[in-house]
Amino acid sequence: MVRIHRINHQRPTYDHGLLTTRGNSVNLKVHRNRVYEDVFMALVGKPAETFLDRFTVTFYNEAGLMEMGIDGGGLCREMIVAVLSQGFDPSRGLFRYNDDHALYPNPDAEALMEDFEAHYIFLGAILAKAIYEGMLVDLQFAPFFLAKIISANRNLSVDFNHLRSLDAELYRQLCRLKSYQGDVSDLQLDFTIVQCLYGKNTVVDLKPNGSSIPVTNESRVEYVNLVANYKLNTQIQRQSMAFISGMTSVLDLKWLQLFDAEELQIVISGTNNEIDVDDWQEHTKYSGDITGEEKKNSLKLFWDFVRSLNDDQKRKLIRFVTASSRPPMFGFEASFLFLFLYLHPEFTIQITSETNHLPTSSTCSNLLKLPAYQTAEEMREKFLLAIESNAGFEFS
């Protein structure tokens, strides 16, 4: 975390790592019930530079009707969050979860879809776009896969020690094999591995004629390394290469390699630290007149309400106003340095006189439009309805 902060303040030295926005605009028409599909079809095969352009999004509801609103950035952020959420969902078949609920490429993706590499390239580019735009997204990746992204090896290979973050049980079994005190030949292992696809087991040789080569005390280290290499590298080689080619078409690999795997995860999703409401309140800006007893009372009720929320509800409130559920990494103080470290524009509150309405927001400017509620009960009821259902959500 400290090193990321240092790189942030050294950013002028590393400006070559982020490509320069060209100033062009890409108009995307996106249906709510097929966000991933619409954006994929609109951008697949486009030059990498397209992802550096400004995306302007028009949403269509489930009835096919165009939604009102001018995209000043909020709709684009909402679209990117939805694309990433849907694209990395294991039900789509491109990624899987490990035991820690962290993502890695699905080894079976090639069998599930003919154009699987195009989807990995697209998702890599969209994730890089999110980083480029200063967004934090709610995606956790397996450490071994993050190590691949920043690998200096052309084949993106990682070694046995990374197997723990893919398959912890297999890692433990292989560690026991390495230290086994008996005769390994008694275990009747050979240089093969079983791969399961659609419930059917296929035996794969780990080396030429592996099925006829027994594993012995002398060869067990080779066997362990070959099993790890197959699991970590061979079976997801094309998926990983495609994803990383998409990512590095938008972000310079040398810039990504400034981070280690743990730091890169923080760059992608921020930290899971509890949200600091005192910092949030201290660095909130106010638009318009906030004088008068009623408005002062509304603000006091609002911050009391925020403090009463659990962490998940606080994140929903942040998403309601900013289109991202992840709080800025280094607090709510605005900064023109690395945007993912801070929030820009600042979180802003504007008090309105419409006390019978739900709160609304303009995510393009991180603006909360707060009705001048005068009771804690009304504040809580209206806000929980808004943040749980996105009721009152608007873009202007």
What is the pLDDT at residue 334?
55
Share of the chain above pLDDT 70, in %: 88
Structural domains in the chain, sorted by start: 2-154+236-269 (3.90.1750.10), 160-232 (3.30.2160.10), 277-394 (3.30.2410.10)
* Separation CA 215–CA 180 (nearest Å): 13
What is the pLDDT at residue 289?
83
Share of the chain above pLDDT 90, in %: 62
What angle in degrees, to the nearest 10, is found between the helix axes of 261-269 and 116-132?
A: 80
Is residue 267 within 8 A of residue 128, CB to CB? The reply is: no
What is the pLDDT at residue 17?
42
What is the pLDDT at residue 344?
59
Question: Rounded to 5 degrees, what are φ and ψ at 42?
Answer: -75, -30
Active site residues: 364
Q: Which residues pair with 95 in a beta bridge?
A: 105
What is the pLDDT at residue 270?
85
What is the pLDDT at residue 339?
45
What is the pLDDT at residue 327?
77
* Average pLDDT of the residues in 52-78: 85
Q: Confidence band (pLDDT; 50, 70, 90) for 346? A: confident
C-beta atoms surrounding 171 within 10 Å = 19
pLDDT digits (tens, 9 = 90+) for 270-286: 887 888 999 999 989 99
Question: Rounded to 5 degrees, what are φ and ψ at 251?
Answer: -115, 135
pLDDT digits (tens, 9 = 90+) for 147-165: 999 987 777 889 999 999 9
What is the pLDDT at residue 377?
95
- Which has the higher per-residue pLDDT, 37 or 1? 37
What is the pLDDT at residue 207?
96
Return mean pLDDT, the chain.
Answer: 87
- In this predicted structure, the answer to whether residue 215 has a pLDDT above a threshold of 60 is yes
- In this predicted structure, the answer to whether residue 391 has a pLDDT above a threshold of 50 is no
